[in-house]
Structures are given as structure tokens and as C-alpha cells.
Chains A and B, each alone.
Chain A
């Protein structure tokens, strides 16, 4: 009982009209598009063995691509296409959110529909086909009045499978900017909000089951010639679509969209930005859980208006520089580069979220280690752990080069577990993140980097090209600049990982604002 008195259920419920509506819209559009393409293809292919094998083969291959990857692939694809149409025909389109999600999901829905339509048409008794010909039907009349009605149960089974797949996979469209029930799951996983994760999974499952049952009703009605059953199912589906369309049509579109990447700090900061905008009388909404490859392009093309990025990430990953420059120089150079794309680097928030070598304070003091240079002398007897990408990142190469680091052993770990592992002595050093709240919690120490091998990762506010001259927006954001120091951000991150009601990004953002809003 106490589990359900958690206020986060209420918060989750508040998001439901928006998330569910978007989820239904993207699923229905994808399914409709999938059917529109696969049904005629299946009918064309059934008497053409080569086309049929090719189609089914291609659809099977698509099916083996993990849903997340398929969705993520469509974003750059459409982005390239949009720039082509802009260059050739003078119009572009948004490659963000709805369109790539619909296309990827439609592709995903094709296999069961193709396969079942072909199987269903193949399974018809040849004597019936001959009879259709014998009573004087044209091939088209035979297809529409005999073959398709007889194959319908098998085709409907395929459509039901496709519907369940699409609704399930649509939860993965959150990282490419399509709001969906996946927003609960992505946000929940990152902020340890299990209520959200559970709520998102349940909502998606209930939706999938409901649609499946409505389609079953239609199928059953058609099979047994019960018009009212098929009608009831049809009305059910139509009502579901209408119910999810109405609130979003009625709601005024928000003018500012704040982006957030897929980790807790980003959720807190985007909540903080949205709160500041609302406090300034502007309407704002968050688009959370965006992949780091997607979010920058989304800002550049104006699909989102503002987000927080890190100078080192932009420097290394976005602009592919291999040299590392001092903080001020790097920021000013970034400003110039970004300005060429019309993007405003509005300013630094005051803290850094960089990779850093971290070890327990007591251990470091006992060994007399204060900096990475000190560590290098002991490295041969120590082990190091990092996240899945650290050891293949330029920072690690740069560290090895600058300090001649060579550890006894190196391991890869889930970021959440690294800090506990180093605190318990399972590994000696970890490559952690400077703004992580767990550094304070486990009494760890960040080792100095006197040779500046790791580039600065200052948190910076980026504004979309169309907001370059937006005075109201900039006035609302100005109070945040330089105000969030590393200690405050660490504490905010620690709170966000608390796993209780006070840990929701909104609550932490309010706490953060109280903390920094001092003259």
C-alpha cells in the first residue's frame, strides 16, 4: 500500500496524456504506413517467387537489427536526406522525432504482415480458386471477394503481431526525440526512479494488450461474420486514437523545448532550465533522453531550443579535434566554431563534468598520491576500472602519453558500480566523472592533472540558431551562468540518484535553484 502512496505515481500519471498520446500517434502512423506498403507488396509478390524470397529476406534482415539501432540509424539518414532536399528543391524537413520513428517502426512492422499475407493467400484451397475463375470472376474480383476474405484471419494475425511489436519498440524512439512511453523508462533508469520504469513498462504493456485484443475482436467478427464484433473492435481502435489526439490538439504547443541527454545530471539541468523559463512567464517543455549523437543536430536544426553540453565533448566528439587546449582558449574557439552554425554558446554554468582519475581519500593519502603524476610511480602495482568507452577514448591515450601510465590490470564496468568497487578496494583507481555525487558519498578524491592531459569539460548552455537574438530566453537563463559549482552539482546528482520521491529531476532542480539563488 505504501508503495502506491509514493507521490511519483501521481507525477507519472501527470505525464500520461502527453507520453501515451505521442506513443499511440507514432505507433498508429507506423502501423498504417507499414500496412500500406506491405499489403500490396505481399499481393504482388505471392505469384513471383524471386520477388517473394527477396522481400521476405530483406524484412527478416531488418528484423535482426536491434530496434534501438534501427531507430538511431534513421536519424542521420533523414538528416542527410533533408539537407539534400533543401539543396535541390529548396525545402527541408525535420529529421527529428516523429518522422524517423515512424519510418523505422513501419519498416519493423513489415515482416509479420508480409509473411502472413503471403502465407494466408498461399493456403487457400486451389479448388476454391478454380471455382472463382469458373463462375466468371476476373483475377481482381477473385482477389478481393474470395482470396483476401479467406486469407483474412491469417493476415489479421500478422497485423496483430506487427501492432504488438511496434507498440513495444516505440518505447525506444525516445532517444531520437520522439516522446513516447519510453520517456518514463529512459528517465527512470537514469535517475534510479523505479516507479517511472515500472509505470512506463506497464503502460506500454497495457496499450499493446488493449490494441491486440481490439484487433482480435475485429478478426473474430470478420471470421464469424459478426458485424457488430468487428464494428466494436473498429470503434475501440478509433476511440483510442481519438482519445489520445484530443488532449494534444487542445493543448497549446509550448514555445521552448529544453533538451536533455540520457543521464541524471542532464535531467536535473533540463528541469531547472524549464523551471526558470516558466518562472519568467515563458512556456517550456522538456525533450529528455536524447542520444548524444542526436541532441546536437536537433539543436542545430531548431528541433530543440536549449540544452547543456560539455566543452570537451563538443571539442573531441562533435568537432573531432585531437589536440587539447587550455580552458579559456578552448571555450573561445568553440564559440567561434559554433557561431558559424548559428549556435550560441551562451555561457558556462560553473562546474565541470570531466573524466578524472579517482581513488579513496585514505588510500591516496597513505600512498602520498595527490596528482596523476604521483600515481604514475605506483601504477604498475595498481588496477584501474573505467566505463565501457573510456579505454578507447582520446582522454585515455592522452593520459598514458602525458604520464607514462601503465597499470597492472584494467577493467570495464557499469558506471553505477565503479564507485562502490573502488571504495571497497576491488579496484584501486577508477576513471570517474568529476560531477558525480558518489565521489563525496564514498569519500573519494579526484587526482590533479598538472599536465592537462584531460581536456576541460565545462558545462555550457547552448542555444538554437533561431534563439540567437531571443532576449526573453537569455534573460531567464542568465541567473544560472557561473552559479553551479562542482560541490553543488555533485550534491544535486547524489540527490537525483536517491531513488525516492525527493529524487525526481523536478524536485532536485527546485532544491538546486534554492541553493544557487542567493545574491
Chain B
């Protein structure tokens, strides 16, 4: 693992007012976690495990109750949240594209907020369309609703990368896509991550995706960080929940190997 952590959570806690009950719901419970520069970390866990909250604490879409979070060595609590968000890429679950402006305007939004000159933004948009493998002429001036789900998510990735961030946070970015598209997008993003030297934290509920893309996987349950490590490290875990999570991809891999002989094992 590389040395300096780019994102560090130090005993972080966050709770919300409960919907119906008087008690507060604890979303993140005393979590410490370091993400190294250049690392691809996936966070897995069931719904309500606190994984989305954990992600949002990093760019202050949510503020922590306890503990300390540093990004690029700076305490986020002491950083202006708007400036912080402009230097961290964020890919939203359903794309989160602005429906009233074109693909190009969506991609160029953060550079525009940062005050880049328009020709520079335009050149950057073209560069990014190429990077996420969208045809420039065909897609540049379209509205988001005219695109397919996969294309929209590619635009979402391009928008997150527009202002050349070092860190990209992804909230179940490919969850709503069909398996083929999801696979292609995952691979493409992984390549970008490597090519651009990004540090990525991606949330997913799909263990297979988590294992295939990540350098390390963090497993969350009921607000706690249950396990953290590479795929191999996780497979040595003695936690029943972690083993349960690993059982599905393992069984699938075995069955697929049996069903598709002759293509060589993984």
C-alpha cells in the first residue's frame, strides 16, 4: 500500500433524528479508515449499513458529529464545503444530471463554477467525452433525457472528472444499469482510474463488482466497519457476515467455470 493517506476517517460518528422513534438512528459508528493515494476502495454493505453516509462525510454533503476527517491532509471541518466539493469528483446513484441543460453544460459545470474561461471548458468537455467514450458530435448538445442509462452514467463520470480532481467518490454509480453495460462501464472506469492516477471510493451493493474493481474492500454493517482488506484478506476473515457476502460471488464463479469449460479459469 502507498504511504500517505489521501482520505482519512478517524473515529468518525454520525447519527440522524429517527423517522418515527424518539431515538436517533446511528448511521456511522466510530469508524476509522484510511484511503491511500491512487487506491481504489469499494465499500459494500446492505441498505442502512451507513455506507452512503460514510461517503458523503468526505465532501461534507453531511457533517460528522464526532471524529475527524481529513482530505489531502486538511481537516474537512475547517474547509469551506463548497471549495472542498469543487475539488472532489462525485458520481451520483442515478446520474444526478441537470435535466434542463445539455450534456456539454452538465460536464462543464464545475469548471464553470471555478471560473475557467469558456474555450478551455469547451476543450475539456470534448476531451472528457472522448475519455468516457461518447461520440462528441452525437451527444454534446443533447439533453440528458435523450440518452440511455449507460450513456447518462458516462456523462456523470465525465462531470465528476471535469475539474481534474484527485479524488472521485461514487455512490452506487452503476447499480441501475443492465449487467452488460455495468460491466463495460466498470472496466472503463477502472482503466480511467489507473490512467489518471485517481483515488476512488466507490459504494456498491454488488459484491462481485466490489471484488473485481477494488484494490481493497471495506465491509459495513449497522454503521460499523466490519472488515477492511484485499479480496484475499477478506476470504481469510472469520466474520460470518463477511463470509456470507463472499459466498455468492464464489458460488457464481464455480458454477460459471463448470458451465463454461475451455476458456481457462480465473
Contact = CB atoms under 8 A, between A and B. Distances in A.
Interface of A: 127-128, 130-138, 141, 146, 149-150, 225
Interface stretch (B19-27, B38-46, B89-97, B224-232): B89-97
A141 B113 CA distance: 9
Given A133-B61, A136-B85, A127 B113 contact: no
A130 B91 CA distance: 11
Given A127-B92, A141-B113, A134 B98 contact: no
B85 A131 contact: no
Nearest to A152: B100
A131 B100 CA distance: 13
B96 A131 contact: yes
Nearest to A136: B86
Given A137-B82, A138-B82, A132 B93 contact: no
A138 B80 CA distance: 11
A350 to B, nearest CB: 72
Contact of B96 (A134, A137, A138, A149): A134
Name A's interface SS: helix
B109 interface: yes
A132 B112 CA distance: 13
B110 A135 contact: yes
23 contacts: A127-B93, A127-B94, A128-B99, A130-B61, A130-B92, A131-B92, A131-B97, A131-B98, A133-B61, A134-B59, A134-B61, A134-B96, A135-B86, A135-B110, A136-B83, A136-B85, A136-B86, A136-B110, A136-B113, A136-B114, A146-B98, A150-B100, A225-B100
Interface residues of B, number: 21
A128 B145 CA distance: 14
A138 B82 CA distance: 6
Contacts of B159: 135
A127 B82 contact: no
Contacts of B90: 134-135
A146 B92 CA distance: 16
A58 to B, nearest CB: 31
A153 to B, nearest CB: 10
B164 to A, nearest CB: 13
A127 B143 CA distance: 17
Contacts of B114: 136
Given A127-B93, A130-B61, A141-B113, A136 B82 contact: yes
A136 B111 CA distance: 10
Contact of A127 (B83, B85, B96, B109): B96
Interface string B71-105: 00000000000110110001011101111100000
The 5 closest A-B pairs by CB, nearest first: A131-B96, A136-B86, A136-B85, A134-B90, A135-B110
Contacts of A131: 92, 96-98
B52 to A, nearest CB: 11
A438 to B, nearest CB: 65
A146 B113 CA distance: 13
Interface in B159-184: 159
A132 B98 contact: yes
B45 to A, nearest CB: 20
A14 B99 CA distance: 51
A137 B113 contact: yes
Contacts of B110: 135-136
A145 to B, nearest CB: 8
Contacts of B94: 127
Contacts of A134: 59, 61, 85, 90, 92, 96
A149 B100 CA distance: 7
Contacts of A130: 61, 92, 96
A128 B82 contact: no
B85 A133 contact: yes
A137 B96 CA distance: 14
A131 to B, nearest CB: 3
Could you say which of B85, B98, B143, B159 has the most chain A C-beta atoms within 10 Å of its C-beta? B98
Contacts of A137: 82, 113
Contacts of A138: 82
Contacts of A132: 98
Nearest to A150: B100
A84 B114 CA distance: 53
Contacts of B86: 135-136
Given A128-B96, A136-B83, 13 more contacts: A127-B93, A130-B96, A131-B92, A131-B96, A131-B98, A134-B85, A135-B109, A135-B113, A136-B82, A136-B110, A137-B113, A141-B113, A146-B100
A26 B74 CA distance: 59
Contacts of B113: 135-137, 141
Interface string B113-133: 110000000000000000000
Nearest to A133: B61
Nearest to B162: A135
